[in-house]
């Protein structure tokens, strides 16, 4: 019989601490999508090349994703609140730099610095929550709210950006970060407490460099090949990136204190959760970015109208994050993963019904249906990963979950966006590398503009078909390999009984 005392219920301070943490989480997520509707305005103001335009969008996600694991380990060892404070301050400073960037290169640099700051915030914030809420059910509820904040930030990013762009210049989308950062820096020391550090050992600097360099080199090669065609330079860069990532993986198995404990992936549920943290964000970011271009440049919607179109999906996604923990308690993790992948697949495949002249209703339906799947994935992945490790490793586990989200976000734009770019390059009128550049060409004939729009829609359809197909496969994989509710309960019971039997307890 289990006689261990129940954990004390969280007090008002814990819930207030959760509300304070949600501020920077909302910002970090929102800055991953706030530029989706601002690309046209930035292109007119700064005249970036096609490659620079993609880097403006996704360098933020790559900076966050490549450094999350390192900062998760640093927070576990040296203090999570301290890291949160430093990261919030850097995020505010970099936001000011991005808002007043004089050219595309400067904007890319400040977006990268914002990504570095974001990498300090996400794992420490989620780890702080695991310390505030020790009861598993309340922790799941708090993580569901955390996931809703992250999802809401990413989902409302285009809407917030659209509203600001309708009234101010493009740099305003970054200045809105400052009040939230200032409020966090004032309230966090009062409401949050430093979690005692119990992990020892330093952070392997070479592992940090290898992971970041491998990711950046590999994805840059894919983007360059999509924009300019396959040649020796992107091929060598891509192969080099893959080799560096292989070196990183091999090094982790030899370190006493690795950045990633790959032994965690021996657990089937953990592995599927990690993949689910990666691929839904890839589908979401790619379809949101390409869908935003479709709304503005193909259908001709104003930035405000395009932002309003995104609201139903954002609302559904946010609500789903909040209610998912209660649903999972009734249906089990397996049902949640199945719903996640199959709903995302159904949602993104609805984009195949969009056309050059219409499809607005199908776009809204797509965001709503897929939004339920995205909401399930955010909540289930975060709780599954954090619950799989002891409290002293919560920061590193949270970093794994958030790394999947951020890398998925950046990979979606880079890979699926590049796939759409290839289609445009092959089928388009060969006037410019992107649809927006083509439509800004002086004296462009109406027939050429229509051809360019048709080529873009073809690229959107192919990206949606690939994303939908991937999630159908993932759903089938979860159906085949994840244990059902009864099987999981029996396995858990056997795990709990084993230690007692070893000590002679029957």
CATH of 12-195+259-432+445-484, one of 3.30.70.260, 3.30.390.50, 1.20.1250.20, 3.40.47.10: 1.20.1250.20
Give the residue-averaged pLDDT of 40-61: 77
Distance CA 455, CA 475 (A): 30
Q: What is the pLDDT at residue 194? A: 60
Distance CA 138, CA 129 (A): 10
Q: Which tops the pLDDT comparison, 440 or 97?
A: 97
> Given CA atoms 163, 166, 170, 176 in this order, what sign does their dihedral have?
negative
Q: Is the pLDDT of residue 503 over 80?
A: no
H helix or E strand, kind and range, residue 224 = helix 205-228
Q: In terms of pTM, does the model score above 0.85?
A: no
Distance CA 111, CA 97 (A): 9
Distance CA 342, CA 359 (A): 22
Q: What is the pLDDT at residue 76? A: 63
Q: Is the pLDDT of residue 497 over 80?
A: no
For 467, half-sphere exposure in the C-beta direction (CA atoms, 13 angstrom radius) is: 40
Distance CA 94, CA 98 (A): 6
Which of 109-113, 139-143, 215-219 ranks highest by mean pLDDT?
A: 109-113
Q: What is the pLDDT at residue 494? A: 44
Which of 31-40, 328-337, 404-413, 462-471 ranks highest by mean pLDDT?
A: 462-471
Q: Is the pLDDT of residue 459 over 80?
A: yes
Average pLDDT over all residues of the chain: 77
328 pLDDT band, cuts 50/70/90, is confident
Do 340 and 377 meet the contact criterion of CB atoms below 8 Å apart? yes
The Cβ of residue 473 has, within 10 Å, a number of other Cβ atoms equal to 13
Q: Where are the domains of the chain?
A: 12-195+259-432+445-484, 204-258
Do 294 and 363 meet the contact criterion of CB atoms below 8 Å apart? yes
Helices 50-78 & 39-46, crossing angle to 10 degrees? 110
Distance CA 46, CA 39 (A): 10
Q: What is the pLDDT at residue 229? A: 63
């Amino acid at each position: 019989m289990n006689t261990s005392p129940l954990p004390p219920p969280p007090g008002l301070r814990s819930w207030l601490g959760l509300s304070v943490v949600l501020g920077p989480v909302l910002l970090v997520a929102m800055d991953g999508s706030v530029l989706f509707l601002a690309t046209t305005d930035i292109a007119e103001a700064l005249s970036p090349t096609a490659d620079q335009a993609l880097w403006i969008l996704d360098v933020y996600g790559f900076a966050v994703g490549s450094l999350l694991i390192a900062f998760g380990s640093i927070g576990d060892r040296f203090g999570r609140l301290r890291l949160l404070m430093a990261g919030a301050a850097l995020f505010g400073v970099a936001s000011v730099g991005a808002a007043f960037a004089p050219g595309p290169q400067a904007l890319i640099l400040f977006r990268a610095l914002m990504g570095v700051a974001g990498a300090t915030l996400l794992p420490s914030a989620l780890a702080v929550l695991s310390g505030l809420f020790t009861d598993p059910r309340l922790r799941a509820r708090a993580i569901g709210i955390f996931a809703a904040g992250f999802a809401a930030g990413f989902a409302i990013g285009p809407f917030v950006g659209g509203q600001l762009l309708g009234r101010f210049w493009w740099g305003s989308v970054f200045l809105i970060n400052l009040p939230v950062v200032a409020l966090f820096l004032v309230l966090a020391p009062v409401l949050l407490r430093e979690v005692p550090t119990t992990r020892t050992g330093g952070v392997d600097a070479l592992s940090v460099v290898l992971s970041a360099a491998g990711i950046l080199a590999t994805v840059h090669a894919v983007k360059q090949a999509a924009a300019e065609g396959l040649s020796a330079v992107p091929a060598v860069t891509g192969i080099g990136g893959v080799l560096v990532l292989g070196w990183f993986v091999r090094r982790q198995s030899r370190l006493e204190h690795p950045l990633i404990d790959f032994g965690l992936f021996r657990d089937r549920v953990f592995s599927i959760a990690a993949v689910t943290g990666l691929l839904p964000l890839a589908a979401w970011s790619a379809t949101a970015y390409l869908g935003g271009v479709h709304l503005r440049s193909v259908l001709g919607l104003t930035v405000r109208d395009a932002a309003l179109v995104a609201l139903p999906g954002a609302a559904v996604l946010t609500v789903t994050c909040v209610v998912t923990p209660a649903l999972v308690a009734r249906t089990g993790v397996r049902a949640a993963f199945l719903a996640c992948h199959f709903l995302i697949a159904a949602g993104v495949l609805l984009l195949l019904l969009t056309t050059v002249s219409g499809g607005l209703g199908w776009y809204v339906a797509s965001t709503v249906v897929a939004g339920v799947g995205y909401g399930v994935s955010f909540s289930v992945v975060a709780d599954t990963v954090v619950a799989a490790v002891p409290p002293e490793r919560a920061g590193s586990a949270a970093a794994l979950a958030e790394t999947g989200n951020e890398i998925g976000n950046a990979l979606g734009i880079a890979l699926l966006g590049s796939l759409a770019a290839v289609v445009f390059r092959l089928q388009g009128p060969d006037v410019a590398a992107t649809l927006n550049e083509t439509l800004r060409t002086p004296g462009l004939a109406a027939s050429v503009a229509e051809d360019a729009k048709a080529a873009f829609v073809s690229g959107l359809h192919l990206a949606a078909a690939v994303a939908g197909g991937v999630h159908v496969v993932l759903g089938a994989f979860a159906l085949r390999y994840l244990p059902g509710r009864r099987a999981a309960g029996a396995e858990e019971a056997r795990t709990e009984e084993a230690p007692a039997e070893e000590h002679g307890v029957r």
